Amino acid sequence: MEKASLQQIQIGDPLNRVEGQLKVTGKAKYAAEYNLSGVTFGVMVTSTIAKGRIKSMDTKLAKKAPGVLAVITHKNAPEVPGYKAAVNNEGARVYGQEFRLFYDDQIHHNYQPIALVVADTLARANEAASMVKVQYEQETHHTDISRNLDQAIQPARPEDYSRGEEDAYLTAPVKVVHEYHTPIQVHNPMETHATTAVWEADNKITVYNKTQATKISQQEIMKAFDLKEENVQAHSPFVGGAFGSSSRLWPQEMAAILGAKVVGRPVQVVLKRDQVFNMVGYRPPSRQKVGIGASAEGKLIGITHEGYGITSRYEQFTERMMDPTKSMYHCPNLNAKYRLVPLDMSTPCWTRGPGETSGSFALESAMDELAYALNMDPLSLRMKNYADKDPENELPWSSNYLKECYKQGAERFGWQKRNPTPRSMRSGEWQVGMGMASGIYKAVRDRAVARAKLLSDGSVLVQSAVADVGPGSATIFTQIAADVMGTSIEKTRFEWGDSSLPHAPGQFGSHTTASVGSAVYDVCTALKQKIQELAVNQKGSSLQGAQATNVVFENASIRLKNGTTSLTYSDFLQQQQLPSLEVIKESDGGPLLEKYSGKSFCANFVEVRVHSVTGEVRVQRVVSAVDAGKIMNHKTAQSQVYGAVVWGIGIALMEEGLIDHRYGRHVNNDLAEYHVPVHADVPDIEVILIDKEDPVIDPMGAKGIGEIPLVGFTAAIANAVYHATGQRIRNLPITPAKLIS
Amino acid sequence: MKNFQYVRPTQQQAALETLAQDDKAMFIAGGTNLIDLMKRNVVLPEKLVDINRLPLRKIEPTSKGVRIGALASNSEVAEHPLIREKFPLLSQALISGASAQLRNMATVGGNMMQRTRCYYFYDAALPCNKRQPGSGCGALQGINSKHAIFGFSDKCIAVHPSDMCVALVALEATVLVTGPKGERQVPFKDFHRLPGEHPERDTNLEKNELILAVDIPASSFTQNVHYLKVRERASYAFALVSVAAALDLDKGTIRNARLAMGGVAHKPWRLMEAEKALVGKPVSEETFQQTAALAMQGAKAFEHNAYKLKLAPNAITQALKTAAGLS
Amino acid sequence: MADEGKSEMTLPASDDHKKYNETRRTFLKQSSLLTAVALTPPGMLQIVELEEKVDEQFESVKVTLEINGETKELSVEPRETLLDLLRERLDLTGTKKGCDYGQCGACTVHVDGQRINACLAFVIMQEGKKITTIEGLSKGATLHPMQEAFMKHDGFQCGYCTPGQIMSAVACIQEGHANSKEEIREYMSGNLCRCGAYPNIVKAIEEVKNGGAKG
């Protein structure tokens, strides 16, 4: 018996990451780490005003600086055919005119790239970039959401939503209505945005790119430069974190491509940390108002939720801020309105739980406030208003184990021991508070294609263009393939992260497992079927004439259910006189999905300590109970929940992009002043994975897990802080400054 | 970053002379702040004189206390048995600052010479009198949540970012410097300056002077001490407000006290009036609250830092309570 | 300049280094206006190493250091950071650039056994020092126990902060600062992880501290 057979892998096993060794040894190559022969370095010069035009740009000194190969500005940039094409918003993910790099003299936002300096070393490019002198003609800018709410527009999409009577909460016996604010938050992945571009020929390009979507990257470059699909390759197997920020084409990609065109050598462009704050997306700030009314017994009567986000002047970036409100609770009357304030800023972009994270802060804080107004336990209030079907569209849930999340989460956390009275719990000088919140997030599936190959050594190779920016997708796809094929992990290989591989959607929106995982599952199933068909038709084979139902695939071989003789995959190929056997399969959810509402759910329980004198908040304990369908890998799934919780701690307690509106310029744009959580901020986190199959969305039974634990989490902290201190902070982040004032 | 000339003398005199040759020359030791500033084009030296080979790394007992060489790293000082035993306040302050990596690199002298973290100082696109005299103070009408409540001027409201210096000023350290005119001793409280009309000058170090060592006198502040650092993030963050508190107790009575604050002024903020007021008082929360109120006299806030008017006295009370073993 | 003869000048030693320095000073003031090669002192170009991809070194100076056990003689610009040297010239890209200002820890390496941020270290100031990067941590094919523990406990997601976390974690134990979860968290706080792998990193460090990773 093969040794490998001892290590038969199944879906769900807590397998170590397949790319783990590359990552712990420093051998995993990220976008700026290919050190290609002849590579040159591009550094962007960015604007220091928020609005106006470039009057003049003096690049003479920079051009003469040692090692400088080119200085590219709007005056001399190569033409980008796609920039001249008419705007087509049909199906576009963001409505409007995309930002056009080095296109004209207009300044749309601070930190707008206005020149690229390319030199033979990074240090020289950096120095020369500082020598470019710019004169501007400034115009009045507006960057403050609060002062420009009256300029808000109704975005082209989505439409306002309502059911039942408008503002019905006003008529309810018990009601709360409050405003909630969230600030700009910035993804700040550890790797800043980076691209190395190489023109292989006049009409053929390779980009080593930081992207969550190699196919989107490829298609957008094709469109911009009018190139054929086979002539654009986006290579992105390793991405140093993205969280939504690498899901469209950004200036550093365009700059590297244009730079490489000009200098005729590979160009590498890596953004500096300050440049990522207002150039390559951020979570827009929000201003929200939530009114909720309930009967004296706590049955919801009406919810009104109004929210404002911001966008740039040239595009309408919209979020799903209202989505949790629409579907979370059974509530007959609900109206939700979402507006955008266009400002002189770069376009925001999707940020982990885009919209849901900000929207759920308001909704789940308001629910907590309602619970106190009702003198009711916050968990009981939520359980009482559990929705049996999706109230947004009356569709049955594809699966819903939210009640299990509540039950198991509360038990593990010890919610019953909580004294409901605010300010009632203490540990020395620390006020102790316990809070909870619910979360809901779409669980959907997109079209994906996968290729599976049985190779002569009996191993299986599966390929997809999908990225793996950290969730562990490559590992679980290897695992799905091994499970379906009956192969060991050593004999199963998954290739990803390159646009030349079969189509995959972007790795965002928590739909990668359902989409690509299904394609992997389906293509391996198809490969097995093909093996079986060939094997049972093979004269002289021990399997000749066997029924499909009577065949078993395990230990990298095929055998009859009750038989003892088995045929290894490699012997099978030999028998068939095939060098390999390949199947490509496209997978899609199909019409069944439209008959159901697919969502993931969670219940978060948080204990905080607030120092009674200094106002410092420390998260002491977290229990996160998550219904994300069947879990593909318990180890990586748990890590996803950790990640969401750490994000929640950051957003709740410290993250805030600060702009001095006089200059329309970020001031805390580095990692010393824009705080993300450090080790010391993160306590033990208990993760409960309900791990029940969803029968609708995909054949593995999985739903998404990357975002759901973050939905509502910030409110759970705010609710805990209220319980600890009696202070309701409705304006994130919750800082000592706010708590002691 | 602009290129620069690099010289690495092994002797003090050579270091001083090399520096004096060039107006735009600077010393470099750990480099943790200087290199950062050079990368951002905030500081543009044409020559760097690397002093790391000078023999200024020792931490040794003296007849009066301890002498810490200017080149001793922040972690060496924090971990040194002598410092931990006799000057635990300094140890605590050092460990609360920066990260383990930065503490390995940063030196005592460099820590004293570090520049403010004011946003406007670091961004060459924004006005800052400290970076570019005469350009205006961006923070005065701007985002000033982290800024001074004591000792500011209309030219500058930045704060000094060091934790170590707050402990050193409380411990009445002396700075030994040398320069063209020879060696001199500078009391720690006089080492850093208030901004006044010249916020571009952080310290009273004269042109072409070199810090050699810091002397800390032996004291009875070895037991009842506490360095309290208040921050949003639990570690690796500059203080919103910090307090160095040291008490010499005779049973329930305060025999002597030392108190200083960080994050509130352009220099480490020694609270001598408050210290005096503590002497002879009983150890109690009430005593400490009165002291805190006294310490806050003259404090004034800007648009975004009014919270410090409450946080600072709270922190003083808390630090004293912890030092006294009341909490 | 009486004493300067005792200075350890890193510029090419010559009898008339005083004159040389003056030339260089003038040179620096003019350097932005002139091309590099014309005024580069004779002999400088020969210093260039094969592994360098730039063949004309502006303002280069010689430095010798040991990287992962190998002695390297290099010529560098004084402004070149250890991080950029490793990543852009020596193809040791395991050391990451996350912020370039000492604010994230992704570039953590060991210099003479101590963890530091390579982004805030000029190469020229590392003369004679022993540098260990993530690539030098494992002994041949055998991974360091910390690397094994990170894999076992899933101490990373995107992997970008990982080499820095591992280098820092190894030092954290060596320094004696891994005696409790709280202490580990405090002494590892100089290494940011945006994916939020912190709980698993702490587990990995605890395991190595308590006798190494198995399985």
The tens digit of pLDDT for each residue in B154-195 reads 999 999 999 999 999 999 999 999 999 999 999 999 999 999
Q: Do A614 and B314 lie within an 8 Å CB cutoff?
A: yes
* pLDDT tens-digit readout, C77-95: 999 999 999 999 999 999 9
- Please, which residues 644-673 of chain A have a Cβ atom closer than 8 Å to chain B? 653-654, 658, 660, 662-663, 665, 667-668, 670, 672-673
Q: For residue A741, name the pLDDT band (cuts at 50, 70, 90).
A: confident
- Which of C54, C137, C185 lies closest to A679 in CB terms? C185
For the cut 80, the answer to whether the pLDDT of residue C51 exceeds it is no
pLDDT, greater one: A474 or A3: A474
The residue from C80, C104, C132 where one domain ends is C132
Confidence (pLDDT) at A83? 96
Total residues found in chain C within this entry: 215
- Is residue C109 within 8 Å of residue C167, measured between CB atoms? yes
Best residue in B12, B13, B101 for a mutation probing chain C (most C CBs within 10 Å): B101
Q: Provide the b/e sequence for C111-140 (b: ≥16 CB within 10 Å).
A: beebbbbbbbbbbbbbbebbbbbbbbbbee
Query: Hey, what are C138's tokens?
Result: 């494992």
Tell me, what CATH number does C192's domain have? Answer: 1.10.150.120
A540: contact with B, CB 8 A cutoff: no
Number of domains in chain C: 2
- Residues A679, A677: Cα–Cα separation, whole Å: 7
Distance between CA B183 and CA B200 in Å, rounded?
24
Cis previous bond, A378, omega within 30: no
Q: Is the domain of C17 the same as that of C81? A: yes
Q: Please give the angle made by the CA atoms of A498, A502 and A503, to the nearest 5 degrees.
A: 90
Mean pLDDT of B85-108: 98
Question: What's the mean pLDDT in A126-146?
Answer: 98
- Inform me whether the C-beta atom of residue A239 falls under 8 Å from chain C C-beta atoms: yes
Q: Are residues C60 and C128 in the same domain?
A: yes
Give the pLDDT confidence of C114-144 residue by residue, as tens digits: 999 999 999 999 999 999 999 999 988 899 9
| CA–CA gap between residue B119 and residue B141 (Å, rounded) | 13
The domain boundary residue, chosen from C109, C132, C155: C132
Q: Do C183 and C127 fall within a single domain? A: no
Q: What pLDDT does A652 receive?
A: 98
pLDDT tens digit sequence for A694-720? 999 999 999 999 999 999 999 999 999
Residues C43 and C67 occupy one common structural domain:
yes
Please indicate if any CB of chain B lies within 8 Å of the CB of C187: yes
Measured CA to CA, the distance from residue A505 to residue A143 in angstroms comes to 33
Q: Is C73 helix (H, G, I), strand (E, B) or coil?
A: strand
For position C60, what pLDDT does the model report? 86
Is A637 in contact with A510 (CB distance < 8 Å)? no
- In degrees and rounded to multiples of 5, residue B325 shows phi and psi of 80, 20
- Residues of chain A in contact with residue C203, where contact means CB-CB under 8 angstroms, are none
Nearest-Cα residue of chain C relative to residue A647: C196
Q: Residue C176 has what pLDDT?
A: 97
User: Is A563's pLDDT higher than 80?
Assistant: no
**Helices and strands per DSSP (H, E), number in chain C:** 7, 5
Taking CA atoms, what residue in C is nearest to B30? C121
List the end-to-end C-alpha distance of chain C, in Å, as a whole number: 63
Please state the φ and ψ torsions of residue B111, each to the nearest 5 degrees.
-60, -40
User: Residue C212's pLDDT band (boundaries 50, 70, 90)?
Assistant: low
Rounded Cα gap, residues A293 and A725, in angstroms: 25
Neighbouring subunits of C (3+ Cβ pairs under 8 A) = A, B
Residues of B in contact with A429 (CB under 8 A): 318, 327
Please give the average per-residue pLDDT across A315-343, as a whole number: 98
Give me the DSSP letters along A629-649.
Answer: BS-SBHHHHHHHHHHHHHHHH
Least CB–CB distance from B14: residue in C6, C114, C189: C6
Same domain, yes or no, for C38 and C125?
Answer: yes
Is C65 found in the same domain as C126?
yes
Q: Which residues touch A391 (CB under 8 Å, ≥6 apart)?
A: A163, A326, A327, A329, A330, A331, A334
Which of B2, B5, B36 is nearest residue C24 as measured by Cβ atoms? B5
Say if the Cβ atoms of A16 and C92 lie within 8 Å.
no
What is A311-372 written as a DSSP string? E-SSEE----TTHHHHHSB--SEEEEEEEEEE-SS------SSTTHHHHHHHHHHHHHHHHH
Between chain B and chain C, the number of residue pairs with CB atoms below 8 A apart is 128
Residues C184, C175: Cα–Cα separation, whole Å: 11
Do residue B100 and residue C116 have CB atoms under 8 angstroms apart? no
For residues C128 and C39, state if they share a domain: yes
What are the backbone dihedrals phi and psi of residue A426, each rounded to the nearest 5 degrees, phi first?
-150, 150
Helix (H) / strand (E) containing A309: strand A300-311
pLDDT over 90 (residue A565): no
Residue A7: per-residue pLDDT: 63
- For residue C88, list chain A residues with Cβ-Cβ distance below 8 A: 35, 41, 121-122
Buried b / exposed e along B217-254 (16+ C-beta atoms within 10 A): eebebeebbbbbbbbbbbbbbbbbbbbbbbbbbeeeeb
Domains belonging to chain A, first-starting first, are 3-28+446-588 (3.30.365.10), 40-140+187-276 (3.30.365.10), 286-444+594-740 (3.30.365.10)
Element (H, E) at A23: helix A20-24
Is residue A277 within 8 A of residue A111, CB to CB? The reply is yes
A119 in Cβ contact with A67 (< 8 Å): yes
Instruction: Output the pLDDT for position A237.
Output: 97
Look at chain B and count its residues: 327
Asked, for residue C107, whether it belongs to a domain, the answer is no
Residue A66 to residue C35, Cβ atoms within 8 A: yes
pLDDT tops 80 at residue B291: yes
C-alpha triplet C44, C48, C52: angle, nearest 5°: 145
Q: Locate the chain A residue with the closest alpha carbon to B238.
A: A672
Does the pLDDT at position C10 exceed 80?
no
Q: Is residue C127 part of a domain?
A: yes
Average pLDDT, chain A: 96
How much is the pLDDT for A591?
87
Q: Does A471 touch chain C (CB under 8 A)?
A: yes
Measured from the Cβ of residue B82, the count of other Cβ atoms closer than 10 Å reads 14
**Position C46 pLDDT exceeds 80:** no
Contacts of A665 in chain B (CB under 8 A): 123, 125-126
- Scan for tokens 């200036």, then name that residue: A251
Q: In this predicted structure, which of A166-180, B114-128, C200-214 has the lowest mean pLDDT?
A: C200-214
Q: Do A25 and C103 touch (CB under 8 A)?
A: no
**In-domain check, residue C115:** no
- A240 inside 8 A of chain C by CB: yes
Model pLDDT for residues A247-257, shown as the tens digit of each residue: 999 999 999 99
Q: Which residue in the set A239, A273, A469 is minimally distant from C100, CB to CB?
A: A273
Chain A residues close to B240, C-beta within 8 Å: 736-737
Testing the interface with A: which of B118, B159, B232 to mutate, by most A Cβ within 10 A? Answer: B232
Residue with tokens 């969803």: A694
Q: Both C53 and C127 in a single domain? A: yes
Least Cα distance to A29 among A155, A199, A142, A191 occurs for A191
User: In the predicted model, what is the mean pLDDT of chain B?
Assistant: 97
C6 touches chain B (CB under 8 A): yes
Residues C11 and C83 in one domain: yes
Checking phi first, is residue A105 left (phi over 0); if not, alpha (psi -120 to 50) or beta?
alpha
- Contact at 8 Å (CB) between C63 and B8? no
**Domain that includes residue C179, residue range:** 145-209
Tokens 């001027």 locate to B153
CB B9, CB B28: distance < 8 Å = no
B48 touches chain C (CB under 8 A): yes
Contacts of C134 in chain A (CB under 8 A): 24-26
Chain B residues with beta carbon closer than 8 angstroms to that of C28:
3-5, 46
With beta carbons under 8 A apart, name residues in chain B contacting C191. Answer: 99
% of chain A exceeding 70 in pLDDT:
99
The reply to whether C202 falls in a domain is yes
Binary contact (B32, C8; C-beta < 8 A):
no
Active site residue A707: yes
End-to-end CA distance of chain A: 71
8 A C-beta contact, residue B212 and residue B58: no
**Model confidence at B146, in pLDDT bands (50, 70, 90)?**
very high
Residue A86, both tokens: 């008419």
The answer to whether B138 faces chain A, any CB pair under 8 Å, is yes
Note which residues in 413-472 of chain A have CB less than 8 A from chain B: 428-429
Chain C interface includes B91 (CB < 8 A): no
- DSSP of A196-211: EEEEEETTEEEEEE--
What is the DSSP-derived secondary structure letter of residue B206?
P
Q: How many CA atoms lie within 13 A of B323 on its CB side?
A: 31
Question: Quick one: C126 and C20 in the same domain?
Answer: yes
H helices present in A352-432, as ranges: 356-374, 378-384, 402-413
Any B CB within 8 A of C138 CB: no
Judging contacts by C-beta atoms under 8 Å, the chain A residues touching residue B327 are 428-429
Residue C105 lies in a domain: no
CA distances from A462 to A453, A573, A632, B182 (A): 6, 17, 17, 75
C153: in domain:
yes
How much is the pLDDT for A545?
A: 83
Contact B142 A662 (CB under 8 A): yes
Residue C137: per-residue pLDDT: 97
Strands B47-50 and B25-28: parallel
| A615 in B contact zone (CB under 8 Å) | yes
Compute the average pLDDT of residues B35-57: 97
Q: Is residue C99 part of a domain?
A: no
**Which of A49, A61, A616 to probe by mutation at the B interface, max B CB count within 10 Å?**
A616
Whether B41 has its CB under 8 Å from any CB of chain C: the answer is no
Q: For residue C138, is it within any domain?
A: no
Q: Are C37 and C128 within one domain?
A: yes
The answer to whether the Cβ–Cβ distance between A680 and B125 falls below 8 Å is: no
Minimum-distance CB partner of A33 among C93, C103, C133: C93
Nearest C-alpha neighbor of C3 from the set A129, B305, B17, A601: B17
Of B6, B99, B235, the CB nearest to C61: B6
Q: Are residues C125 and C155 in the same domain?
A: no
In terms of residues, how long is chain A? Answer: 741
| A:80-139 residues touching chain C, CB 8 A cutoff | 120-124, 131
For residues A525-550, give the mean pLDDT: 88
Selecting from C10, C115, C122 the residue whose C-beta is nearest the C-beta of B31 gives: C122
Chains in touch with A (≥3 Cβ pairs < 8 A) = B, C
Termini Cα distance of chain B = 49
